[in-house]
Structure 1
Amino acid sequence: MTIYLVRHGESKSNYDNKHFRSYFCGQLDVPLTDTGTKSADDLCDYFKEKQIKHVYVSDLLRTQQTFEHIFPYDIASTTTPLLRERSLGVFEGEYKDEISANPKYEKYFNDPNFKDFRHSFSQKAPEGESYEDVYQRVEHFMNHVVNEDTQKDDIVIVAHQVVIRC
């Protein structure tokens, strides 16, 4: 069995955070950019040569679009929220400079016990998920969704940065 891990192509949020004002994305349902679509199209040729039996896809728009461009033909697939990006809770959609200046959330940007929520295994944004929470989701997915039948086959997982890290 070979598992191919594919991160979604460049999303509107990825582009905005590089070129405009940074905001927290998390589980916001943002589309791919033209560059992201092109990247997914390029992977289509790569996977045509593989014997992929099943594709597992996050239910967020950017991964759905990536999947549709990589596999524009019929292929067995499962869409699941277990592969969603890490939730950033109340920070999702908020501009980083504004939320960090809000006294209500000051501790998440200044207090050592909270300020590492973006990269810590155990810290999380308010009403969000930690890496540990995502790890548990991914572990459940691997143990209960990827069943014994597919464990003999080559599969693709189209997901997000934190899911792939976990």
Structure 2
Amino acid sequence: MLNIYIVRHGETDTNKTGAINGSATNLPLNETGIKQVEALRDSFDINKIDAVYASPLLRAQQTAEILDRGQHQIITDDRLQEMNYGNWDGKDTRELQARYPQVFDELGYFKDNYSDFCTGESYQHLAARLMDFWHDLVTKHENEAVLLVFHGTASRSMVQNILGIADIALVGEMQNAGVINFTVDDQSKKAYLRYYNRVAPDKFFLEK
């Protein structure tokens, strides 16, 4: 069985202030974010991981480096970047909700139609690149443990599409430095969600 651990990056200043934190908002982790990832690192046995993949964005790279402790060559893959929110990237979420209430769902996340009102990437395009990465991943790795470090909306989309959930609104966003675990059957490639949004100080008993 293949075990895949998905980690959302630690907090950035845009996470803290409630601004849109997409692929064009390439900020580092803030002090809280570093502490979140360090706490996760202390609960996470990186020696049981066979490969580490990360988004090229700074916040994901920093998170991966802290977690990895220099044990692996971190493989950067552009397909793991966060949603490109276009001209809304970095904008205050509350201002957008007041002006465009029709593009927000009940939990305050963007609906599929958000990209009709800005230059942002569609959910369909986001899903296509993430699932292209996923299919490559499960083909390349068998009976291993793999760590993926990327982003909030991107991880929601990946979970939605792996599990065949009709509406991304049914998948809540992980906390910063939260962890998802999938087990994938090596033959059928069917994925099983073992847990979602676990955070330190939980102890993560990694399996292959």
Q: Would you say the 8 A contact 1:5–1:158 is kept in 2?
A: yes
Q: Distance in 2 between matches of 1:122 and 1:95?
A: 19
Count of residues in Structure 1 that have an aligned counterpart in Structure 2: 151
- CA offsets per residue over residues 69-123 of structure 1, 9 Å max, x none? 111223132111111111111111234466678xxxx6xx15x4xx349522354
Does structure 1 residue 7 correspond to structure 2 residue 8? yes
Equivalent position SS for 1:94: coil
Does structure 1 residue 46 correspond to structure 2 residue 43? yes
Q: Identify unmatched segments of 5+ residues in structure 2.
A: 158-208
Does structure 1 residue 157 correspond to structure 2 residue 148? yes
Q: Distance in 2 between matches of 1:44 and 1:76?
A: 17
Deviation at 1:25, TM superposition (A): 2.3
Q: Would you say the 8 A contact 1:57–1:157 is kept in 2?
A: yes
Q: Would you say the 8 A contact 1:120–1:130 is kept in 2?
A: no
* Structure 1 match to 2:66: 69
- Tell me: CA distance 1:94–1:50, structure 2 relative to 1, closer, same or farther (3 Å): same
* Structure 2 match to 1:140: 132
* Structure 2 match to 1:33: 30
Equivalent position SS for 1:151: coil
Q: Give the TM-score of the pair, scaled to structure 2.
A: 0.64
- Tell me: CA distance 1:69–1:81, structure 2 relative to 1, closer, same or farther (3 Å): same
Q: Would you say the 8 A contact 2:50–2:145 is kept in 1?
A: yes
Q: Would you say the 8 A contact 2:51–2:74 is kept in 1?
A: yes
* Structure 1 match to 2:186: none
Q: Identify unmatched segments of 5+ residues in structure 1.
A: 18-22
Q: Distance in 2 between matches of 1:69 and 1:157?
A: 13
Equivalent position SS for 1:5: strand
- Tell me: CA distance 1:116–1:49, structure 2 relative to 1, closer, same or farther (3 Å): closer
Q: Would you say the 8 A contact 1:42–1:70 is kept in 2?
A: no
* Structure 1 match to 2:55: 58
Larger Rg: 1
Root-mean-square deviation (CA), in Å? 2.3
Q: Distance in 1 between matches of 2:30 and 2:4?
A: 26
Q: Would you say the 8 A contact 2:97–2:104 is kept in 1?
A: no
